[in-house]
Each structure stands twice: as structure tokens, then as C-alpha cells.
Chain A
């Protein structure tokens, strides 16, 4: 076997918007908007620097639903740049950019191989000497929803000794949080005889199996608070024995973080604010030039809970932190330079509890006790949960758009809502409770 190198990336989602953020200053928005392209550029730069023999991209290069002309144009530019450097690209289309979706009319350049809706194989050559080094098999989504197990179409030619790479956009073993498109099992993949499964679709980076390698590189740029942490691609070196060595390379320019803050022991909002600022500074130090989007999660139980729960203090805290970062954005010349990168507080998640013993309250024969017991029951019984959600959000559901949003809420979201609601009820009623004295 001939040693070679390739880059595996997936889910570029070019120009797809960042989800779950609001009130973004223009400058930051601009930066965010550019970030998927920046990741693409980083990928191209990486390719030029690492000189791989080819690049494989496992689907979802762009979001067809966004129908972004910019994405198409920038992609074309990137292809051209890679073409100028003679780096071939093998691409499949995924559920977000299926073959039937609109895209730029122009034909792909020669060095870009796009696989069709049925599995097909091409032989990749080593760039240095033109030696065939790998068989690449890929299959694209003809439409946005592929529900059959397309991995079964991948069959290794037993007579061929070349390294086999399979490009597949699929949800292996039905992972949560992603549509179960092209569902397949790990076993299917293991048994296919392929040496490297270059997967896409799941945005979380994960290596499901080694030798044969079954790899999700994750998306190269996180796009929401769900996609936290470093994002990038894998550079894969295959040695003479067909053994692959993977090294992760970060490509992201905006990194999403979730930072937890406990309110325990905090007496007032000033203390909370100081703590939050400290936290941001800490993150800033680790930024290494990237813009960070942070969601603060307030946790723990403390006297601040009620205030946070009912009042506007949480909102005010975020606003203040944002003001500071905005000043930083404005103060820093356009580059958002590495010296003091922005750590943008995208939101505040209040997961605090009242400074009460919840268990005791639950046992109490009181209105609150009754309420908490009911909330607990709702978390356990989906029927009740549905009922509660249904009647609580009935008014909202009158609006079509809101109805859709409500429908999007998963069970977990609903449970979380109930928990939050229970907490809110506690903070609303507890005060009176103490006064009213239905306790024993």
C-alpha cells in the first residue's frame, strides 16, 4: 500500500445563520456571517499547507434552504483555489444540500468529484506521482430525506487492495438530536470492508470506531449553542501498512461555549456580575484569537434565585456584559484581533433553585407542595406533560409561527420548561407560603 494523506471534513453549512442568538451587534454579526466561510478558507489554507492528496467532504456543504448565493459563490472560489493548487476534492451531498436543491448552475470544475445518488467509486491518485492510492466511494442525497440504509450499497471489491474510503452522510445508530437520515448501524459499517468511513451529518466530532475507522469530523464551525467547543476537520495520514493516523485541526473562528456559574453563596447581583466578568476574562484568555460566544448557565441555589427568576436582573446582567463587549468590538479595529478577542455573552440560562429545601416542600401538604408534586408527576408522565403543555400554550398556538415553534419543543425541552415553571412557582409563592404558614 502506498502511504498518502487526505483531509476529511463535513457539514460545512456555508452561510447558514447562527442559531439561538439575538441582539447581535452588526460588527459581530458580520464576523459570525463570515465564520463559515472563514472555516472554509481555513480548510483550503490547511489543504495548501498540508498538501494532502485529496479532500473528502461528507455532505452538507451548504444549506439549500438558505439558498445563499454567497455560499455558492464562495464555494466556487474555494474550489477554484484548490484547483489552482491541484488538490482534488470528493464531495457528496447531504440532507441540507441534496442534489435536487438549487445551487449554482455552473458545472463543478474537473478536480471536484461530486458523487451521484447511487453509490459509485473512483480511484484517487497520489498527487506526487499519480499512483492510485485509494478507492473512494460516495453517495449523495437525491432529496433532503433519505430514510433507507444507503450504507448497504457500499461493497468492497475484494480483489482491490487499495485503501477504501466511504463517504456517507448518515446518522449511525440513531443518534439523538439529528434526523435519522440514512440510518445505519455501526455493525453495517464495520462489516462493509471499508477502511475509513468518512461520515457527515452529526455535528459533534466523534470517532465511533478505529480500524476500520468510522469518523464524524463534526462541522468545522459551530453554529449554535448546541455546537460548543473546538470545531474542525481531520487530517488523515495512511501509512504503507494501511494504518491511518488522524489528527484533528481546528478550523473555527467563532467558538461556542457554555459556562456555568453557581449562585450559591452569592448575596447580591453585584457579586454575580463580578463573577460573570471574571468568567468571561478567563475565557478570553483561552480564546487563541477566536471570537467566543458564551452562554452563561446560572446554577445552584441561593438567595439570588428568586430575583433571577422573577426579576429582570438576569437580563440586565447580560445587557451589561454585552455593553462591555460591544465597546470592545467597537474599540478594536475591524480585525477583532487576537490580543483581546471578544467573548460575547449570547444568553443566560437560569437553572437556579430557591434557597429552600425542595424535598421538604414536595412533601408539604400545601399549595406549593401540591404544585411541585404535580410538576414531578408531569416529568414522569408524558401524558400529563402533554396536557400541561397543551393547555399552557394553547393561546400561543393560535399563531401559526408560534405553533410551529412550540411543536419543535422536544420532550426534554418540555420537561425543562416544567422544571423551570415549578421553580418559578416556588419563587412566586414561597414568600407567601412562609407568611401564610401552611407548613408544619
Chain B
């Protein structure tokens, strides 16, 4: 194609410019700012569109008016005429910022047809589909574009060239870059952080783990084998250990029992030396000794007995019996028995005589008191007149009736008075006492307190009982006294007693209930006691006043009941003394409230009367007495005579007996026999004359005494004889016993002898000594046997016979030292075995544990799978990498094809251009395959890297390359070249060379050159005279 004409409507500072290109070369000459570069831009803009606003200066907004754009007239290779009209639209009204322009492309073909064409069509038809960039790089070149090559230089250059020349060059570049980036991410030799490197590391790690896991099986097998071995060893070891243990046990047992064993051996030897006796009696020596002992004892007993018999016999010989006396023993004893009666009678007789005498005296007195003239006879004849006696009796009866009546009246009055007074007094006393009761009670309490309430109660009941009794007796006595007139003394006593009793009783009345109350705190008991005591007080008081009254009628006689009364009194007093510590003090303290009441005297008349009556009664009574005494005298005399008789009988009998007994010897003992008889006769007559008989009692008494002595002596002799006899009897009986005993001893001795013989026989001994020896031996033997048995039990208990045998053998074969040594050795061996066994056990345990652990681990192991996964990941990565690597390889190979098959033509051409430009100084251009560096080969210095070239030469190199590439790229189209002042850095020669090259190129394509340098224009004009030179001036 060819640019024919351009019309600039408005572009940069150009406006309304119109240029027509003629000829193959046009030079646009003009100073700076003439618009040369703007024109370059204008052509680009016309062909490829006005650059959008984003490109700024490249857009060339018109500054001097005119519509932004213009028109370009182009002639195609086939002769078509193209008119490209392009105006940029103002920004307003066309929002969006996209390229907004008004474009009109018209094509007029050879036949003159006018066809509207689209941009694409135009580009394809005119530019061979060349891109705007490529056009800019290769065909519309300013210094900037030229130096762009320099900027990209070296490794990029090659690609830039491809980019400039080959389709997809940029993509190849980008693709390669991307690929190598990606690949670098995956893998770099000796890199450590890339994906594959990491995977590899992981893989190696896992593989090691897997190897470790792989060792589990062999290890397991080892463990199994080892376990088998250990089990075998263990079994062997156990057997050995057991054997060792047995030996050790045996040895230790042996050493343990060795002492015992030695003892046993000794014992055995001793046993061996002892003779053996068949059937020696059991317990022989003991029995023998017992027999001997008994025998000895019996012999001793026998000797003793014999001695005693001898003594007894001697004793008996010494005791001679008094046979005649003993024969009369009965008689003597009876005499002796009667002797007491005899003596009593003698005494009675004496008493009777005295009584007789006193009776006679009293009788005489009585007679005298009746009348001095009276004798016994008169008395005996006195009988008394009945009339007189009756008169007296009647008189007395009347008197007593009178007394009775008086007393009744008295008692009536007193009773009433006393009752009132007593009631009143009791009341006041009670009241006053009650007030004092506490104190008094407490004071009296000292007397009473020590006593136990029970005792008090008992004493009290006793007291009340005694009081009752006393009351009874005293009332009966009072009755008597009433009848007979009680004696004054008794009365007085009574009264004193009463007073004391009353006082004590009163005190008790107050105190006792208090005491009982205090001690027993029983109200009822207290009340009962109080009432009882009050009653007693009243009674006592009454009794006292009565006795006081009866005193006035006192008689001289003592009452028979007085004794009993006084006894009762004494008891009462005693009781009171028991009850009251100090009855008298108590009575004293009771005060003199009850003073003795003195009754008034009876009148004299009455007394005299009574005296008279009493005198009469006395006479009668004396007569009575006299008679009575007479009768009693008679009785006494009768009795005296009877006694005398009896004594005489006794005396006779005694004499007879003694006469028989003593013969002549005892005759003189009876000197007063005759005198006695005489005395007896004499006393017979005594009643007749009392005064005489009293005189001759002397000889009789003497006689009686000797008789008694004789009897008593005989009696004592008899007793002695009897004693001797009794002794003899006892001795003889003892003798008998002893004799029997001696017999028995003999029997037993004999029996013992027999048994001795038996024992000797049984023991096979000839004598006792031998028997004893044998017995000792037998005992020793038994002892030895027992000891041996014991020792054997100690030694061998729990051992079977075999073990025992072994032990015996061991003990007999070894000395102690040997045994000890062997024991030590065995212990050591045992220890060793034990240790070995334990070790084996431990090893087995460890192995079992390891086996288990291995199984456990084996079951859990997943490293192989992980390894496979890692490998898979690695493979995936490798795959990815390989694809990219192959891709890269393919690209590089394809590029090499381009480089090798196509580039050389470009380079050849470029080399030719450069040679021409440099005048042959640089011969050719070389592209290094490895570094892809562009080199210029100097004629002399060889290849020089484009970077090392001088600026001018480098530009020449680039220009050559571009021109060559433009040829290669444009194929068969002639696309005009627009060069904007590229030759400024060339020296003259080079410029000439360059121009000659351009001239050559201009043969193939239209060339438009812009310059501001006149020498350039001149140079061109010189070489290319036909060049159209347009001065833009």
C-alpha cells in the first residue's frame, strides 16, 4: 500500500494541513515543532483509530482549531484507492469514554466502484491484519520505539522480536512466564519450600516411619522366637531350680538336725550297749521299792507293837486288884448314899429341938400376954364366947359399910372436880406445852432422839402394857386395900410412884407425840399417842388421889399383894428409866403442879372407937395363936422321934457292913457305938423334957462324925479299887488289840515276801540288787528309746522314708564342715538359679508385653496408607508439573523452530543491513540461543552484546533488525515505513550507509522520513535524488 495524501483537519497543533506523497521516498523536513511526530501519530490514528483520552498526549487534541481528525488517502497494492476519514467526536453527548469517532472508509476499486469498508476489512486488506502495536513497533518508528528494544534488551529481546514478528508471541511470553512460575511453585531443584519438595520431605518421613512399621513384623517374629526360647529355658530352669531347691532343703534340713542327729547316734550307741531283757516287769523298781518300803515300815510297826505289849504287861503287873472291897462295893455305895439322909436327919432333929424350945417360949409369952396367970392348960381349955365374937364382928361390918359409903362419896366428888380440873388443866397445859413443844421437845429430844423411833414405839407399847398390868394389880390391890385398909407406908410409896409416873407420863404425853411426830411425821400416830398418854395421865392422877385418900385408913399390916405390887413398881420404874433417861429429873422438871394432897384428919372419936374394936379382936387372935402353937409343938415332937428311929437303923446297918469288911481293924473305928445307942435313947425322951435332952447331944454328935468319916473313906477306897480295876481292864483290852495287830503285820509281811519273790522271778533276777540294776537298765532303755523317738520325730517329721534315708546317709557321710560347705554351695547355687529364673521370668514378661504392644501397634498402624497417599499426592504434583514441563518444552521447541527456521532469514537480512550501515565494520547479527541475547559481530572484535554497543551502533543494530523484521512480518505486502528522525545519532558515514539501506528498502515499500536536520535531508537528497522533500517550515 501506499500513502497518497493526508489531510489534517485538526491534530495537535496541526490544522488544515494537506500533504501529498509522491515517489517512493518522502522526506518531511522541518524545524522542531513543525509537526513531524504529530504527523506520525496522525497516520497511526487514521489507520488504527484516534487514541482514546486515556492515552492523553498520544491523542493529539487539536490546539489550533479544526475538527479532530482528518483524511488519509491510501492506494492498495492492487490499485484500490482507499479514503479513510476519521474524526474524533467531542466528548460531550457521547458519554462512556469509549473510542468515539466518526469514521468513514471508502474503497474505490480498479473499476471505480466505491465501496464502504469497515475498519477490520481495511486493516486486513491493507495491513495484513497487523495490530496497531506491531505497526507502531515495526512501521511507524520513532526513536522512542527504537529504544524500546534497547530497554527490553537481552533475554526479552528475543521474545520482543517474536512479539513483533510472530503471532502469539506475547502469549508465548506470558505463557512461558506463567508456566515457569507455576513450576517453580511446584518444584525447583534443591528447593525446600516448593510443594513437591514438601511432599517429598513428608514422603521420606513417612517412608522412614513405614520402614519402622515394617520392622514390626520381623520384630514380632523375633519376639515370638525369643519367647519360645525363653519358655524352653524357663522350663529347664524351673526343673533345675526345683532340683536345687530340693537339695538345698535337704542340706539345710541336715544341718539343722545335725545336733539332734548326733545326740541320737550317741543314744543309739548307748542303747546298743544296754542288755535287753525280755519282759521285765513294768515299773519294777518302783514296785520293788514300794515293797521294800512297806516291808520296812511293817517291821518297824511290829517292833513298836511288841514294845508296847511289853509295857502294857508290865503295867498290868503293877496294878493289883482289891478284890474283897470290890465284892462289897454295892453295900458301901448304898451306905454312902444313905449317909446324906442320915446327916440331914441328925440336923433336922437338932432344928426340931430348937424349934420346940422356941415354941414353948412363945407359948409361954402368949400365955403371959393374955394373962399372967394363964398356963397351957387354961389356954387349951379356953374356947371363947360366941356372942362376944359376933358382936365384935357386926360392929366391924357396920364400920366398913360406913367407910365404903364415904369413900364412894369422896370419889364421886373428886372425880367430878378432878375431871373438870384435869380437863381444864390438860387443856391449858397442852396449850402452853404445845407452844413450848418445839423447844421442850427438842430439849427432851436429847433424851429421846438417840433412840430409834421403832424402839421408842416398842418401849411405849411395853410401857402401856406394863401400865395396864400395873393398873390391874393396883386395882386389885386397891380393892383389897379398900376392904382391909391399906397400910400407910404402902400408900405413901404408891403416891410417890403415882406422882412420878404422872409427871413422867405428862411429860411423855407432850413429848412423845412430838417426838413421834418429828421422827415419823405421822399425824395419826402422834394423835393416837397423845390421846393414849392423856388417858394415862388422867388415870394416874386418879390413882394417886385414891391412894392419898386411902392413906387415912391405913392399917398396920402389910398387904400380901404388896410384894407383887412393888415388883410391878420396880418394873415400871425400870421401864420408865429406859424410856426416860432421867425420870426423876424429868419429874422434877414437871414442876410442883401436883402437890401432895393432905386429907383432913378424922376425928378422934372415930379413932378411939376403932382402937377399942381392935383390942377386942387382938384377944381373940392371941388365943387362937396359942392354940395353934400348942398343936405345932406336938407335931414337932412326933417327928423328932421318927427321925431318931431312922438314924439308929442306919447306924446298925453301917456297923454290920464295916464289921464284915474290916474285921478287927475297923472295930476301933466305932468307939461310940454304945454311946450312940445311949444318945438315941436319951433323945427319945427329950420331948418330955426339953431342957434335959439339950444337954446330952455332945457324944452323939461325935459318933455321928466318925461314922461319916468311915463311910466316906470306904467310899474313896472303893473308888480307887474300881479305878485300878478299870485301868486293868482297859490295858488288857489294849493288849488284845495290839496282839491282833501284830498278827496282821505278820500276814502282811508274809504277803510282801511273796510279792518280792514274784517280782524277782518275773524280772529274772536272783536278788533284789540285781533286780534293781536290771530295773534301772530297763528304765534307761525306755528312756533312751523315748528320746530317740522324740529326736526322730523332731528330725524327720514330715519327711517320707526316702527323704529320711537320704538325710541319714547325708549326715552319716558328711562331717559338719562338709555339710556346711555343701549347704553354702547349694545356697549359692540356688541363689544363682533363682536369679536366672527371675531373669527369665522378667524376660518372658517383657517379651509378652512387647508382643502385645507390637500387636497393638500393628493393628493401629496406618503409615502405609499415609505413605500411599503421600505418594499419590506427590504423583499428582509431579503430574501437574510434568504437564507444565512438557508444555514448556513444547513451547520452547516450537520457538526453537521459529528461531532456527525463520529467524535466520530475518537475521541474515538484518545482518546485511547492519553491514551496509556500518560500512562492513559489523558483519552480522547473532542471536544466542541460551541467553537469547542479541549480539553484533564486529569485524575485528567479534560478537558484542547489544548492551555493550555504543548508542549509535545499537540503534543501527535495532534499525537493521526492524527493517529485516518488517520485511519478514509484512510477508508480501508493502507496508509503508514511517521513520521519525532515527538517524540523528549516526555519524556521517553511518548515515550514508543507513540511507543506502533505506534506499534499498524503499524499493519495496514507500518510505516517509521525518527529520529536522538539514544534513540528513542533504544526505538523502544526495543518495536518493528522486526523493520528495516537503518542507514543513
Q: Which residues of A contact B (CB under 8 A)?
A: 15-24, 29-30, 32-33, 66-70, 72-73, 102-106, 310, 347, 366-368, 370-371, 374-375, 378, 388-389, 391-393, 395-396, 398-399, 401-402, 405-406, 409, 417-418, 420-422, 424-425, 428-433, 435-439
B890 touches A104 (CB 8 A): no
Contacts of A105 in B (CB 8 A): 220-221, 224-225
Not counting A399-B189, A437-B167, a sample of 9 additional A-B residue pairs whose C-beta atoms are within 8 angstroms of each other reads A22-B873, A32-B865, A70-B858, A104-B220, A367-B172, A368-B168, A396-B885, A398-B189, A437-B129
Question: B882 interface residue, CB < 8 Å from A?
Answer: yes
Task: Give me 10 A-to-B residue pairs in the complex whose CB atoms sit less than 8 angstroms apart, sorted by A's number.
Answer: A18-B869, A19-B872, A24-B865, A67-B214, A371-B894, A395-B188, A395-B189, A421-B884, A424-B883, A437-B129
Expressed in whole angstroms, the minimum distance between the Cβ of A69 and any Cβ of chain B is 3
**Please, how many angstroms separate the alpha-carbon atoms of A371 and B874 in the complex?**
28
Known: A374-B893, A389-B886, A429-B168. A23 touches B869 (CB 8 A): yes
B889 touches A429 (CB 8 A): no
B890 touches A388 (CB 8 A): yes
Known: A29-B862, A425-B891. A417 touches B200 (CB 8 A): no
Known: A23-B869, A67-B218, A406-B878. A428 touches B886 (CB 8 A): no
A421 touches B872 (CB 8 A): no
Q: Which residue of A lies closest to B901 (CB)?
A: A370
Q: Which residue of A lies closest to B874 (CB)?
A: A405
**Please, how many angstroms separate the alpha-carbon atoms of A432 and B858 in the complex?**
57
Please choose the segment from B173-181, B394-402, B1015-1023 that sits at the chain A interface, where 4 or more of its residues have CB less than 8 A away. B173-181
**Please, how many angstroms separate the alpha-carbon atoms of A85 and B505 in the complex?**
129
Contacts of B885 in A (CB 8 A): 392-393, 395-396, 421
Q: Which residue of A lies closest to B861 (CB)?
A: A70
A432 touches B864 (CB 8 A): no
Contacts of A432 in B (CB 8 A): 168-172, 174-175
Expressed in whole angstroms, the minimum distance between the Cβ of B167 and any Cβ of chain A is 2
Q: Which residue of B lies closest to A373 (CB)?
A: B894
Contacts of A435 in B (CB 8 A): 131, 171
Question: B498 interface residue, CB < 8 Å from A?
Answer: no
Q: Which residue of B lies closest to A424 (CB)?
A: B887
Q: Which residues of B contact A (CB under 8 A)?
A: 129, 131, 166-172, 174-175, 178-179, 187-190, 196, 200, 203-204, 210, 213-218, 220-221, 224-225, 854-855, 857-859, 861-862, 864-876, 878-879, 881-891, 893-895, 897-898
Q: Which residue of A lies closest to B176 (CB)?
A: A428
B interface majority secondary structure? helix
Known: A69-B220, A424-B887. A367 touches B169 (CB 8 A): yes
Which one, B189, B210, B873, B883, contacts A420 given CB within 8 A?
Answer: B883
How many A-B pairs with Cβ below 8 Å? 219
**Please, how many angstroms separate the alpha-carbon atoms of A73 and B681 in the complex?**
167
Known: A396-B881, A422-B890, A436-B169. A401 touches B203 (CB 8 A): yes
B861 touches A68 (CB 8 A): yes
Contacts of B213 in A (CB 8 A): 67-69
Contacts of A30 in B (CB 8 A): 862
B872 touches A20 (CB 8 A): yes
Known: A67-B215, A102-B218, A406-B878. A21 touches B861 (CB 8 A): no
**Please, how many angstroms separate the alpha-carbon atoms of A350 and B888 in the complex?**
19
Contacts of A24 in B (CB 8 A): 865, 869
**Please, how many angstroms separate the alpha-carbon atoms of A263 and B864 in the complex?**
36
**Please, how many angstroms separate the alpha-carbon atoms of A437 and B898 in the complex?**
17
A428 touches B218 (CB 8 A): no
B894 touches A102 (CB 8 A): no
Expressed in whole angstroms, the minimum distance between the Cβ of B971 and any Cβ of chain A is 11
Expressed in whole angstroms, the minimum distance between the Cβ of B131 and any Cβ of chain A is 7
Known: A22-B876, A371-B891, A375-B890. A433 touches B868 (CB 8 A): no
Contacts of A398 in B (CB 8 A): 189-190
Expressed in whole angstroms, the minimum distance between the Cβ of A12 and any Cβ of chain B is 15
**Please, how many angstroms separate the alpha-carbon atoms of A30 and B876 in the complex?**
22
Which one, A29, A393, A438, contacts B168 given CB within 8 A?
Answer: A438
**Please, how many angstroms separate the alpha-carbon atoms of A39 and B566 in the complex?**
146
Contacts of A392 in B (CB 8 A): 882, 885-886, 888-889
**Please, how many angstroms separate the alpha-carbon atoms of A383 and B146 in the complex?**
43
**Please, how many angstroms separate the alpha-carbon atoms of A189 and B416 in the complex?**
175
Known: A402-B878, A428-B175. A19 touches B217 (CB 8 A): no
B867 touches A438 (CB 8 A): no
B874 touches A66 (CB 8 A): no
B221 touches A439 (CB 8 A): no
**Please, how many angstroms separate the alpha-carbon atoms of A127 and B589 in the complex?**
143
**Please, how many angstroms separate the alpha-carbon atoms of A438 and B188 in the complex?**
34
**Please, how many angstroms separate the alpha-carbon atoms of A24 and B868 in the complex?**
11
Known: A367-B898, A433-B167. A17 touches B891 (CB 8 A): no
Expressed in whole angstroms, the minimum distance between the Cβ of A101 and any Cβ of chain B is 10
B862 touches A433 (CB 8 A): no
Most chain A CB within 10 A, of B170, B862, B895, is at B862
Which one, B175, B864, B873, B878, contacts A66 given CB within 8 A?
Answer: B864
Contacts of A409 in B (CB 8 A): 882
B217 touches A366 (CB 8 A): no
**Please, how many angstroms separate the alpha-carbon atoms of A388 and B892 in the complex?**
10
B215 touches A370 (CB 8 A): no
Which one, B214, B218, B865, B884, contacts A33 given CB within 8 A?
Answer: B865
Known: A374-B894, A417-B883. A23 touches B873 (CB 8 A): yes
**Please, how many angstroms separate the alpha-carbon atoms of A432 and B168 in the complex?**
5
Expressed in whole angstroms, the minimum distance between the Cβ of B172 and any Cβ of chain A is 6
A17 touches B890 (CB 8 A): no
**Please, how many angstroms separate the alpha-carbon atoms of A67 and B174 in the complex?**
49
B893 touches A68 (CB 8 A): no
**Please, how many angstroms separate the alpha-carbon atoms of A438 and B968 in the complex?**
13
A19 touches B131 (CB 8 A): no
Q: Which residue of B lies closest to A409 (CB)?
A: B882
Contacts of A388 in B (CB 8 A): 886, 889-890, 893
